[in-house]
Structure 1
Amino acid sequence: MWPFSSENSGGRRERGVLPTSPNASNAGSQPTVPDTSLAEEIDVTLQTVTRQPQRLGLHPILRISLIGAISFIAGFGLGSAHGATTAALRYRAENAHRTPTSRTGWYLYGKSRNYHAIIGGVTEGVKNGARYAAWTTLFLAIEEGLDRARGKVFASRQDREDGKLARGQRDFLNTVSAAVAFSGLYGWKNGFDRWSAQRLTRSAVRFAVPFGLAQDALASLRGDRPWYVEWVMGRAGAVERNKVGQEMA
């Protein structure tokens, strides 16, 4: 018998085949199929999330991160300008009793003042940017929570089973409600009195109404019309159909 040869059930010899046990041959004859249930579930979830209408056409995590980053940049710019000016004035006040008397002294004085201004500006800018980003993220999170809550309340039973939300519930009313809640939390955190809290709430509402309507207009252009736009268009369509029916009659 040739080495590295085996006989099959018909007695025919095959050269170059290693002898294997029956169990190994049976295991090799049935290839292992990878479990794709988890991958399919993830794919369905991603498709469901992608099909859901979103504000500004962006996923909530991406939208909140992007607007939070913009808020941090704006807060850093404002805070760094204020911090640099304050640090420079503080340095001048602390060293007013020992002003330089020579050109070299004034050069070193200006260099040290600029150094303190840069340090103070960067420090205050980071603090102010983080504060802006945190409050902006809180407002957007409240808005997204209200959107999801209304979407679940007005969703049909089939949509709830499929993990979908009712369409048309992301409107300016949620934006205004989130602004009112945000102003209350901000006033409570900073210890505002009654009149200051009311003024802050009015300012928040004046900001939230145009901001929410702008988001509704953008959603309408993308095809995700809010409920009140659908209602107005439905009423207009019904009036037009009635008029056409009367003319035909």
Structure 2
Amino acid sequence: MSFTEEEIDNLSVRDAVAELIDSSRNERLGLPAGIRVPLLVSSAALVGGLSGMVFGYREAGLRFLASNSHRLPTNRNGWFMYHKRKGYYCFAQSFVLGAKTAGKIGLFTAVMFGTEALLDEVRQLKDFGNTMAATTLTGFFYAWALGMKPVQAKNYIRKGGKYGLLLGVAQDALIFSRGGYVWYINGVLGLEPKKLHERID
């Protein structure tokens, strides 16, 4: 059976894509830790920074109004200058709060997913247990850093563990759906999903 040059190119691209996906099927979110953690950290910092800027702009507007309520303008030119100064002030304050929020959320995300990747390496096993341990440890250190009371800290750590369990199970489900190995699904339940090249063929 002879193939045209175009068909050979299409076959090689298909095989390359299938091999790439198969090689990363056991990775969380389909990405190795060296790519996944920086991507998650930068995304979280970006989202946190933007939300911090929005909140900071609104807060700065209220603060500006409160500090100038005793000397509000009385004519059109005065109101123009008032809103101009208010805009500069709000933008400056929104960038400050946005940078702080981006730093906090980025650091929190880096610690959480970095710990998860470290536990994956130490245990040589990727499962929900590592995710749950990472979120619980991150919650513990966050509560300790903020000096929370024991009741608050316990509640915060418990919530972190619950969210970690949900996130870990969701990641395990994604790994399994890509044909990866998840010990409690493949080993205990005996389920074996098809790998991508088997699905294509």
Normalising by structure 1, we get a TM-score of: 0.65
- Residue 147 of structure 2: aligned partner: 191
Question: Partner of 1:39 in structure 2?
Answer: none
CA contact (8 A) 2:60 2:94 kept: yes
1:140 aligns with 2:96: no
Partner letter of residue 147 of structure 2?
A: G
- Give 2:77's aligned residue: 104
CA deviations 1:170-201 (Å, max 9, x no partner) are: 00011111111111110011111101111111
Return the alpha-carbon distance in structure 1 between the equivalents of residues 62 and 115 of structure 2. Answer: 40
1:52 Cα deviation after fit: 8.7
Query: What is the DSSP-based 3-state SS (H/G/I as helix, E as strand, rest coil) of the residue aligned with 2:189?
Result: helix
Give structure 1 stretches of 5+ with no counterpart.
1-49, 152-168, 238-249
For 1:76-101, what per-residue CA distance to the aligned partner results, in whole angstroms no more than 9, with x for missing partners?
12211111112111111221221111
What are the equivalent positions in structure 2 for 1:154-233 lying under 5 Å apart? 169-233=125-189
Cα drift, residue 222 of structure 1: 1.8
Which of the pair has more CA radius of gyration?
A: 1
3-state SS, counterpart of residue 95 of structure 1? helix
Q: 1:93 aligns with which of 39, 42, 66?
A: 66
2:49 alignment partner in structure 1: 76
Gaps of 5+ in 2: 1-22, 193-201
String of CA shifts for 1:9-43, please: whole Å, max 9, x gaps. xxxxxxxxxxxxxxxxxxxxxxxxxxxxxxxxxxx
Task: Say if 2:41 and 2:109, in contact at 8 Å, map to a contact too.
Answer: yes
Which structure is higher in helix share? 2
Q: What does 1:224-243 align with in structure 2 at a 5 Å threshold?
A: 224-234=180-190
1:51, distance to aligned residue in structure 2 (A) = 6.8
Letter of the 2:131 partner, please give it.
Answer: T
2:3 aligned residue: none
Contact 2:175 2:182 in 1 (8 A): yes
Could you list the per-position Cα deviations for residues 101-146 of structure 1 after superposition, in whole angstroms to 9, with x for gaps in the alignment?
Answer: 1110011101111111111111111110111011101001111111
Q: Supply the distance in 1 between the matched residues of 2:181 and 2:81 (Cα, whole angstroms).
A: 63
Partner residue, 1:130: 103
Overall identity of the aligned pairs, in %: 31
Instruction: Give the structure-2-normalised TM-score.
Output: 0.79
CA distance in 2, matches of 1:65, 1:220: 24
> Is 1:121 aligned with 2:103?
no
Write out the 4+ residue segments of structure 1 that deviate beyond 4 Å after TM superposition: none
Equivalents in 1 of 2:42, 2:185: separation in Å? 32
Q: Could you tell me which amino acid in structure 1 is paired with residue 117 of structure 2? A: E
